[in-house]
Amino acid sequence: MLPKRYDSYDEAYENFSWDETWDIVEGDKESLNIGVECLDRHDGVCAHVLNTKEDTLSEYQFAEITEAANQFANLLDKKGVEKGERVVVNLDMSFEFLVSFFGTIKQGAVAVPCPEVFGPDAMAYRVQDSEPTIAIAPEDVDSDQFDETVEVITTQELSTQLEGLSQTYTSQTDAEDTAVVNYTSGTTGTPTPHAYRQKSLIYYAGMKDLMLDFSSEDKAFTTSSTGWGAGLWGGLLAPLVFGIPAGFLSGPFDAKKALEFIDDNDVNLLISVVPTALRKMVDAAEEMDQPPQIEKANYTGEPMPAELSRKVEELFGALPRSSYGASEMTGKVVLADQAFPDFESRHGSLGKPLPGNDVLIVDDDGNELPNGEVGRIAVRESDGLKLSEDAGLTDEDGYFWSKGRADDVILSSGYTIGPKEVEESLEKHPKVAVSGVIGVPDEELGNRVKAYIETDEAGTEELKDELKNFVREELGKHEYPREIEFIDKVPQTNNQKTQRIKLRELHESES
């Protein structure tokens, strides 16, 4: 689609305008609605959802979701919900999620998606922060996490309340109206709300198209939750606006079931998949006689080790393409592997700047660094530099490479150590299930590398020595963990990112 307009990446980078992405939708700046663009214009299959808890597969048509979403919009009108008021959708991917999410946006209210895995504290924080009028929740919802001012509607009650309402609705929103509030996953601290407008659809759909060159024959699948921006905008909305069926798992991630889903539903496109999930899918695929084959794959959320990238291509037939953005920088994707004819994706790279983005590596004072030097990834915009908290470098061909979070980088004996690299080395060891690495103060070294380890083995001193020697041989004597602690569970977000801030808090509590 969009990539076919250009013969090369350089031509696109020089000439592409994001105004071109308006061709994706039928609306304009005065009249635009995500629900209308993603549902009303299409027919056939809208979504496949595999519930991993109940082991059931559901298929939903565009027409049935459109009609029920219109009923939900009418329900909000009936309840007196005003344009711009918040509606929390505390559901995993399901018929009820699709109906209430799209119905909220159609009506002009603002959807706040929150997956069911959130505990009471996580939900209470989001409810207090977003101040919703209504919340759609599962049957077993803990009503104490909602203020008494919030009307809580369970999925069973929702079905009853929609009965008899009109299945048509005329949306009255424009491009600038707020449509969705997503919260960051809390990798580095308190989750932060990010508001997205109706026109955000155009950017995210266009961005994914530049990476993947969507086709009307595509069938998509993501492992990411709709409670996270990548799962919602990349996994759900970007495919649907092109009429491409979206595939989801609902419930705990199961790599074997994910691969069966891909095979049974002729999925050819993996989109917004996190590398941690891909690693588990690789492990499951290695036990299969014939893993399912795909044509295109896109990952996000964290860097992918080159070794894992090669394994994905070897087993599934597609080299995974990166997409990188940072909420603290611009809130949008700025680096990616792209689908232009001459673009060469490289295993483990973050790709190159998307058209319209001036991305560079800078030092702490904002000075641009030459190729090969580690600094912070930044974007130059009209009002100045926007700095990420991610460390990286560029190579001589203009590709960007991650070196972990800048605020997580460990300075030890004059060496700059990326914790992600140490984790990747540790997790190659067969006795390590999950690892989390931080730097802790050390009088002699400045900081020393400390690793927290999940293992099914006995956490012995012998195993500590074995792991230290393993990393020393894999990475070098300056990067191995001088200290190792075995714990039951390495803290991670819903998207399986290591929460190093919690590891640092754990270390401080033990000191």
Q: What is the mean pLDDT of residues 148-159?
A: 95
Confidence tier at 274 by pLDDT (50, 70, 90): confident
* Position 188 confidence tier, pLDDT thresholds 50, 70, 90: very low
Length of the chain: 511
Contact 173, 260 (CB under 8 A): no
The pTM score is 0.83
Instruction: Give the DSSP per-residue string, 104-159.
Output: HHHHT-EEEE--TT--HHHHHHHHHHH--SEEEE-TT--GGGS-TTSEEEEHHHHH
Closest by CA position to 414, among listed 374, 445, 451, 450: 445
Percent of the chain at pLDDT above 90?
75
Instruction: Grade residue 185 by pLDDT with cuts at 50, 70 and 90.
Output: low
Compute the distance between CA of residue 21 and CA of residue 132 in angstroms, rounded to an integer: 32
Q: For residue 323, is pLDDT > 90?
A: yes
Q: Which residues pair with 50 in a beta bridge?
A: 57, 249
Question: What is the average pLDDT across 222-236?
Answer: 91
Cα torsion 61, 67, 72, 73 to 10°: value is 120
What pLDDT was estimated at residue 410?
Answer: 84
For residue 123, name the pLDDT band (cuts at 50, 70, 90).
Answer: confident
Domains and CATH numbers, the chain: 2-273 (3.40.50.12780), 410-510 (3.30.300.30)
For 504, which DSSP code?
H
The better pLDDT of the pair 353, 252 is held by 353
pLDDT tens for each residue of 76-92: 999 999 999 999 999 99
Q: What is the mean pLDDT of residues 459-487?
A: 92
Residue 330: pLDDT band with limits 50, 70, 90: low
Asked whether residue 444 carries a pLDDT value surpassing 80, the answer given is no
pLDDT at position 187 over 60: no
Average pLDDT of the residues of the chain:
92
Predicted confidence band at 186 (pLDDT cuts at 50, 70, 90)? very low
Percentage, residues of the chain above pLDDT 70: 97
pLDDT tens string 12-27:
999 999 999 999 999 9
Does residue 206 register a pLDDT over 60? yes
